[in-house]
Chains A and B, each alone.
Chain A
Amino acid sequence: MAAFKNPQILLASDLRDGEVLFLGTSGWERDHRRARVAFDAAVASELEKIGHAEYAGNRVVDVYLTDVEIEPDGAPAPLHYREKMRIKGPSVRRDLGKQATGG
């Protein structure tokens, strides 16, 4: 396992519609601000285990952890530009994706 450097959240895609999901405290969320944040490796591992079980249960696909920082309001924000794109939608179509609905 890679060294734990930053807080992490777990992402996946909804099997039925492909939308990006975030593992929250009581299931999958469509808003990253409701994602459960792992502040240590043990919790990150726990999130991954849940994600793998959900993958095996055919509810989600493409499950992985990503590094985040915590914003002043307490919400997690991805560090990498790829995941920054995933929580919003295409930068060239602001009318589409999560950003279009305030996500």
Chain B
Amino acid sequence: MNVHDPSAAARPNAPTTTYRYDEFDASFVRERVAEFREQVRRRLEGSLTEDEFRPFRLMNGLYLQLHAYMLRVAIPYGTLTARQMRCLADIADRWDRGYGHFTTRQNLQYNWPKLIDTPDILEALADVEMHAIQTSGNCIRNVTADHFAGVAADEIEDPRATAEFLRQWSSLHPEFSFLPRKFKIAVTGATHDRAAIMAHDIGLRILKNDAGDIGYQVLVGGGLGRSPFIGKIIRDFIPRADLLAYLEAIMRVYNRYGRRDNKYKARIKILVHEKGIEAIRNAVEKEFASMDRSVFSHDPAEFARIAAYFAPPPYESLPAVSATLQAARNDNPAIDSFVAVNVSPHREPGYAIVTISLKPIGGIPGDATSAQMRTLADASERFGFGELRVSHEQNIILPHVKQDDLPALWRMLDAAGLATANAGLISDIISCPGLDYCSLATARSIPIAQEISKRFSDMSRQRRIGKLGIKISGCINACGHHHIGAIGILGLEKKGQESYQITLGGDPTFSAAIGEIVGPGVGAEQVPDVIEHLIDFYLAEREEKETFIDTWRRIGHARFKDALRREGEDGAYI
């Protein structure tokens, strides 16, 4: 069924191109809320100890952080409807502190919920077909996907049908609810990787073989954290019919051989690293060949049913170029900059993909107030078929905007403080919450992002610098993806002080690479100076059209390191 009814598309809260719960999904989530409500009641009355309760709350996305509990809400493959976004805003106002934090797993975190309110929050989420299941714990986490899914000009197939298929397979899978460690899967269907699939436990790349059949390249053993690895290809091509069975085989091998004696060595990346990809491939292929695959037999009708939810909305036939937009760009430099930086090509003529930056200059990366969430919901309904996406870069995407509507959309966003034209530029910084919120953090990360953003506040300078990913983590767990930032910043504790280790050369795409350390850690107040010096060096060295990472690759890490060291002789840097 294509739930996208053209006649309904213009109405508020019109159904959009997203998965809708069926009766089973709805009752499953409701039952889970009721179960957690009872667990909370038993915890508060004292019949469950914290040790007994902790696994239950974690499996429902509830952490205990530095100042309060934190609830992580799953946003499957980052896709949201306007109605869901409004619900997230309402929850922020009613049970939290009026804002939420969009994460690098395309999820949303509330930083101040009370334990006693959590069942009511989950009930409110269930009303809009959302939950917080498996956003924590040693299970398969929220499956992520390309945030341009379904609209990217370079796409072979929309990855969301596969992601939803995997979400249903992995939700409360009895064999994989108590894995050695957490497990993350990402899917892309495009020729450019926007989902960082090579930094995941399993990365799936949708491909078409010579016969024209759709299948998947399967990567395994990628991951960040204290031991970062780039995923390795375990299968060049697995037909769709065998996908679930093959993934089941990988999970079984991991579940059987993954280390449980040391949590720091328990991820599948360590197993792949220690045993070697050949040995893991052999074990998986053996399991795949010997297992009863009939229980995983592909049901094309079921896949088609799921895929139909992601059918394109009813686009109008439009000219490829909008005269209205061109006139607005000519009249208003701010609109021109916004379109040049935050708007991407759409596969449909006359439409555009809009990235709405949650990185205002000096702001907190990924945070949105409830008012901004409502503006985003309104904007999506007015201009984009009521659909939004959350990117792993902690921005919001409107995937279907008519080019003619871009000027009006810009005015709406600008009024809400949401029109910063910095997507992909130096101030579009990925940052984990760090020690401002997180109990695992060893240093703050948000203030570092804010200071760098302020240092490079001149937007024309940002555009001169070009595409550049700065990624900041407040501890070795690497939620801020620092290993795969062109410039990565890791906050650590050194002699009782916050210290920041800087890496260069990380890459989250198909040319994935782990960044290399550039020198000893520096204090927080030095970080913007170090970044600025690196940028100045890059600008002096770059050749025409090179990005930062291009120049770093061409001239080598040592040149950048030397540049900082020379400054260090004057006591300025490292």
Interface residues of A (CB under 8 A from B): 13, 15-20, 55-58, 61-62, 79-82, 85-86, 89-93, 96-97
Are B44 and A17 in contact, CB atoms less than 8 angstroms apart?
no
Are B497 and A81 in contact, CB atoms less than 8 angstroms apart?
yes
Q: Given A19-B67, A58-B49, A81-B497, is A90 in contact with B437 using a C-beta cutoff of 8 Å? A: yes
Q: Given A85-B435, A91-B447, A92-B436, is A19 in contact with B68 using a C-beta cutoff of 8 Å? A: yes
Among the listed B50, B97, B116, B439, which residue makes an inter-chain contact with A96, where contact means beta carbons less than 8 Å apart? B97
User: Which are the 4 A-B pairs with shortest beta-carbon distances?
Assistant: A18-B68, A90-B436, A18-B69, A58-B46
Are B446 and A92 in contact, CB atoms less than 8 angstroms apart?
yes
A15 to B64, CA, bound (A): 10
Interface residues of B in 103-127 (CB under 8 A from A): 111-112, 114-116
Q: List chain B residues, Cβ under 8 A from A93.
A: 364, 436
Q: Given A80-B496, A92-B364, A96-B112, is A16 in contact with B447 using a C-beta cutoff of 8 Å? A: no
Are B46 and A97 in contact, CB atoms less than 8 angstroms apart?
no
B66 at the interface (CB under 8 A from A): yes
Among the listed A19, A20, A57, A80, which residue makes an inter-chain contact with B46, where contact means beta carbons less than 8 Å apart? A57
16 contacts between A and B (CB under 8 A): A13-B64, A15-B43, A15-B44, A15-B115, A16-B115, A18-B64, A18-B65, A20-B66, A61-B64, A82-B66, A90-B67, A90-B437, A91-B436, A92-B450, A96-B112, A97-B67
Are A86 and B364 in contact, CB atoms less than 8 angstroms apart?
no
Complex: chain B residue closest to A98, CB-CB? B67
Q: List chain B residues, Cβ under 8 A from A18.
A: 64-65, 67-69, 114-115
Are A16 and B114 in contact, CB atoms less than 8 angstroms apart?
yes
B498 at the interface (CB under 8 A from A): yes
Q: List chain B residues, Cβ under 8 A from A20.
A: 66-67
Are A86 and B67 in contact, CB atoms less than 8 angstroms apart?
yes
Q: List chain B residues, Cβ under 8 A from A19.
A: 67-68
Q: List chain A residues, Cβ under 8 A from B114.
A: 16-18
B444 at the interface (CB under 8 A from A): yes
Q: List chain A residues, Cβ under 8 A from B43.
A: 15, 58
What's the minimum C-beta distance from B5 to chain A, rounded to whole angstroms? 42
Q: List chain A residues, Cβ under 8 A from B437.
A: 90
A86 to B497, CA, bound (A): 16
Among the listed B49, B364, B450, B498, which residue makes an inter-chain contact with A81, where contact means beta carbons less than 8 Å apart? B498
A18 to B112, CA, bound (A): 8
Complex: chain B residue closest to A60, CB-CB? B50
Complex: chain A residue closest to B99, CB-CB? A93
Are A85 and B50 in contact, CB atoms less than 8 angstroms apart?
no
What's the minimum C-beta distance from B452 to chain A, rounded to whole angstroms? 14
Are A61 and B50 in contact, CB atoms less than 8 angstroms apart?
yes
Are A82 and B64 in contact, CB atoms less than 8 angstroms apart?
no
A13 to B439, CA, bound (A): 12
Q: List chain B residues, Cβ under 8 A from A82.
A: 66, 435
Among the listed B49, B436, B496, which residue makes an inter-chain contact with A85, where contact means beta carbons less than 8 Å apart? B436
What's the minimum C-beta distance from A20 to chain B, rounded to whole angstroms? 6
Range class of the B interface residue count: 20 to 34
Are A16 and B44 in contact, CB atoms less than 8 angstroms apart?
yes
Are B116 and A89 in contact, CB atoms less than 8 angstroms apart?
no
Q: List chain B residues, Cβ under 8 A from A62.
A: 64, 439
A28 to B344, CA, bound (A): 54
Interface residues of B in 281-324 (CB under 8 A from A): none
Complex: chain B residue closest to A82, CB-CB? B435
Question: B416-456, CB under 8 A of A: which get 1 and which 0?
Answer: 00000000000000000001110100001011001000000
Are B447 and A92 in contact, CB atoms less than 8 angstroms apart?
yes
Q: List chain B residues, Cβ under 8 A from A80.
A: 496
Q: List chain B residues, Cβ under 8 A from A79.
A: 496
A20 to B50, CA, bound (A): 16
What's the minimum C-beta distance from A22 to chain B, rounded to whole angstroms? 14
A6 to B436, CA, bound (A): 25
Q: List chain A residues, Cβ under 8 A from B66.
A: 20, 82, 85-86
A15 to B45, CA, bound (A): 11
Q: List chain A residues, Cβ under 8 A from B435.
A: 81-82, 85
Question: B448-467, CB under 8 A of A: which get 1 and which 0?
Answer: 00100000000000000000
Q: List chain A residues, Cβ under 8 A from B498.
A: 81
Question: B114-147, CB under 8 A of A: which get 1 and which 0?
Answer: 1110000000000000000000000000000000
New A-B pairs, 5, CB < 8 Å, besides A20-B66, A90-B446: A15-B43, A19-B68, A61-B50, A62-B64, A91-B444
Q: List chain A residues, Cβ under 8 A from B446.
A: 90, 92
Question: B487-525, CB under 8 A of A: which get 1 and which 0?
Answer: 000000000111000000000000000000000000000
Complex: chain B residue closest to A17, CB-CB? B114
Interface residues of B in 40-94 (CB under 8 A from A): 43-44, 46, 49-50, 64-69
Interface centre among A18, A57, A93 (most CB of B within 10 A): A18
A93 to B434, CA, bound (A): 13
Among the listed A17, A86, A90, A91, which residue makes an inter-chain contact with B115, where contact means beta carbons less than 8 Å apart? A17
A80 to B111, CA, bound (A): 22
A56 to B450, CA, bound (A): 41
Q: List chain A residues, Cβ under 8 A from B115.
A: 15-18
A57 to B44, CA, bound (A): 10
Q: List chain B residues, Cβ under 8 A from A57.
A: 46
A67 to B155, CA, bound (A): 56
Complex: chain A residue closest to B97, CB-CB? A96
What's the minimum C-beta distance from B71 to chain A, rounded to whole angstroms? 11
Q: List chain A residues, Cβ under 8 A from B497.
A: 81
Are A17 and B50 in contact, CB atoms less than 8 angstroms apart?
no
Q: List chain A residues, Cβ under 8 A from B444.
A: 91-92
Are B64 and A89 in contact, CB atoms less than 8 angstroms apart?
no
A2 to B138, CA, bound (A): 32
A64 to B38, CA, bound (A): 29
A49 to B115, CA, bound (A): 25
Complex: chain A residue closest to B496, CB-CB? A80
A86 to B436, CA, bound (A): 9
Q: List chain A residues, Cβ under 8 A from B44.
A: 15-16, 58
A82 to B44, CA, bound (A): 28
Are B68 and A17 in contact, CB atoms less than 8 angstroms apart?
yes
What's the minimum C-beta distance from A55 to chain B, rounded to whole angstroms? 7
